[in-house]
Amino acid sequence: MRTELLAPPTYLKGFETLEEEVTLDSLPLEGELPAWLSGSLLRTGPAKFEVGEHSYRHWFDGLTMLHRFSFGDGAVSYGNRYYRGNTWKKGQETGAIPYPEFATDPCRSVFKRVSTMFSPEFGDNANINVVRLGERFLSMTEAPISVQFDPQTLESAGVSFKPPGMITTAHPHLNRATKGMLNFAVKVGARNEYRFFHLGPDSDQPEVTAKIKVKKPGYVHSFGLTERFIVFAEFPWVVNPIEIPLSGRPYAENYKWEPERGTRFFLVDRETGKAADPITTDPFFAFHHLNAYENDDGTIVADIQTYPDPSVVEQLYLDNVRGGIDLTPSEIRRFTIDPAAGTVEHEVMIDTPFELGRINYGRCNERRYRYAWGVAATPGNWIDRIVRADLEERSHTEWHESGRYPGEPVFVAEPGGTEEDDGVLLSVVLDGERETSFLLVLDAHDLSEVARCEVPHHIPFGFHGLYSSTV
């Protein structure tokens, strides 16, 4: 349902192309940064929504820009740079969108689509997440090309590895024992498979550790991890891969919502690679797992930021978000999976929307935890609040300023901190009235403001990033 607008919404600047690339030694700063905050926030996201006279159709499709906020001696420096890989270069040369994206597909003949069905062309527009693997910094997306970049200069450094499939996630997990990456990919062909893999910190050759055969792969954006299991939720938004090259539609528009299938939970043993029969529960959709862990009684908890269906994907087409459409709210839903009984129970954890959630990952991933930080949208508006969720008390607190639109709050743990929430949050915020952005630093305990630093231009809305104390 569209919202009646008396004036253009002030968040629209977040969906406009940013042309400027700058390197600034110091940003204007209000407040005082913690003395221990020394490192860099690295973010990726779409920042250019046109190539020549052609426009991308979806928020997820814009050309990748990398951003770096670096902290030291109480000051903040900033730089931004487009990722100049094959997608960028070919687009500049031809003046046209060169490769298919999530919901944008260049006009190609049926012959071209069929001939590339099992060896399709992929670009390197990795605009979803930044991941550290050993000494490498990767920018990742769902296409099977992860790219490297220099964390100091943000210069492109080529393809880092190729996963064992045609679709993957930009949300891998850390293997604590090896310091490597755990992720999965969808292998498409005569037989479709979910392939789970490990990539060592210094390797470019993924090792497949588990496989699950599937007729219609589901759209899976992330997964959960406990100390023993990969927790894999397959939502009933599924695709028959053989139909994609014949449909003439972009990748995302080939998925179909089949709620009668329900959502299936697979538990994959991390040591043996064996997956038990799936356990089915009510249909739902999600982008992001929050955390997972095991209880002493053998049950498994998976906290997921859920939607009733995938209509949010349609809402995030650029024509829609620029037109003032309401966003379907997501919620933190806790699933308790009982492998012995073959059952799944669920409950809603807090009474407010919650998305783009972060936890104290180093301390709490795979383990019991209490706190999470995310964002939410007021009905009829874009994302305009930062939310701190207390999952023990089932309560929440919020940061909100009228006309300001925050991004994902990245939690940075205080060195030597004893409590789970000892640290700060870093969020890139659009000031819709001034049409510029700033980096907001909040105390993770109570969302009180610590500092903010102004950027001289707007930063288009992005998705994810990481903090590194070593760059």
CA distances from 101 to 63, 176, 233 (A): 10, 33, 24
Which pLDDT value is given to residue 14?
Answer: 97
Percent of the chain clearing pLDDT 70 (strictly above): 95
User: Which one is predicted more confidently, 374 or 2?
Assistant: 374
**Alpha carbons 303 and 297: distance in angstroms, whole number:** 18
**Confidence band of 7 (pLDDT split at 50, 70, 90):** low
CA distances from 18 to 82, 110, 347 (A): 10, 34, 41
- Which class does domain 10-468 fall in? mainly beta
**Alpha carbons 219 and 239: distance in angstroms, whole number:** 8
Which pLDDT value is given to residue 323?
Answer: 86
Which pLDDT value is given to residue 313?
Answer: 97
Question: Could you give the 3-state DSSP secondary structure of residue 246?
Answer: helix
Which pLDDT value is given to residue 107?
Answer: 62
Average pLDDT on 418-443 reads 98
**Alpha carbons 441 and 452: distance in angstroms, whole number:** 6
**What tokens were used for 334?**
């806790």
**Confidence band of 3 (pLDDT split at 50, 70, 90):** very low
Chain-centre distance for alpha carbon 256: 22
Question: Could you give the 3-state DSSP secondary structure of residue 305?
Answer: strand
**Alpha carbons 154 and 137: distance in angstroms, whole number:** 10
Each residue's pLDDT tens digit, 200-223: 999 999 999 999 999 999 999 999
**What tokens were used for 408?**
């994902």
Q: In terms of DSSP H, where are the helices of 222-325?
A: 244-247, 311-315, 318-321
Strands (E) in 162-318, as ranges, are 167-168, 173-174, 181-187, 193-199, 207-213, 224-225, 229-234, 237-238, 256-257, 263-269, 279-281, 285-294, 300-307
Question: Nearest-CA neighbor of 327 among 461, 142, 139?
Answer: 461
**Sign (positive/negative) of CA torsion 360, 366, 372, 374?**
positive
| pLDDT over 60 (residue 6) | no
Percent of the chain clearing pLDDT 90 (strictly above): 88
**Alpha carbons 70 and 38: distance in angstroms, whole number:** 7
Each residue's pLDDT tens digit, 147-165: 999 999 999 998 899 999 9
Question: Nearest-CA neighbor of 241 among 229, 258, 254?
Answer: 254
Strands 54-55 and 29-31 turn out to be unpaired
| pLDDT over 90 (residue 231) | yes
Each residue's pLDDT tens digit, 31-67: 999 999 999 999 999 999 999 999 999 999 999 999 9
Which pLDDT value is given to residue 1?
Answer: 40
Which pLDDT value is given to residue 145?
Answer: 85
| pLDDT over 60 (residue 81) | yes
Of 250-254, 302-306, 417-421, 430-434, the range with the lowest mean pLDDT is 250-254
Strands (E) in 111-177, as ranges, are 129-133, 136-140, 146-149, 156-161, 167-168, 173-174
| pLDDT over 70 (residue 196) | yes
Which pLDDT value is given to residue 395?
Answer: 98
Compute the CA torsion angle 44, 48, 51, 57 (nearest 10 deg): 90
* Annotated domain spans of the chain: 10-468
**Alpha carbons 362 and 419: distance in angstroms, whole number:** 13
**Confidence band of 120 (pLDDT split at 50, 70, 90):** low
Each residue's pLDDT tens digit, 288-332: 999 999 999 999 999 999 999 999 999 999 999 998 778 999 999
Q: Which residue has the tokens 């907001």?
A: 440
What share of residues in the chain are helix, strand, coil (percent, to 5)? 10, 40, 45
**Alpha carbons 67 and 54: distance in angstroms, whole number:** 25
| pLDDT over 70 (residue 111) | no
Q: Is the CB of residue 269 less than 8 Å from the CB of residue 339?
A: no
CA distances from 412 to 136, 299, 392, 443 (A): 20, 30, 21, 10
Element (H, E) at 44: strand 39-48
Compute the CA torsion angle 39, 40, 41, 45 (nearest 10 deg): -160
Question: Could you give the 3-state DSSP secondary structure of residue 421?
Answer: coil
- HSE-CB at 411 with a 13 A cutoff on CA atoms is 27
| pLDDT over 50 (residue 340) | yes
Return the amino acid letter for 394.
R
Residue 315 is classified by DSSP as: H
Which pLDDT value is given to residue 115?
Answer: 44
CA distances from 174 to 24, 42, 48, 134, 142 (A): 32, 18, 31, 10, 18
Each residue's pLDDT tens digit, 124-147: 999 999 999 999 999 999 988 889
**Sign (positive/negative) of CA torsion 257, 260, 262, 266?**
negative
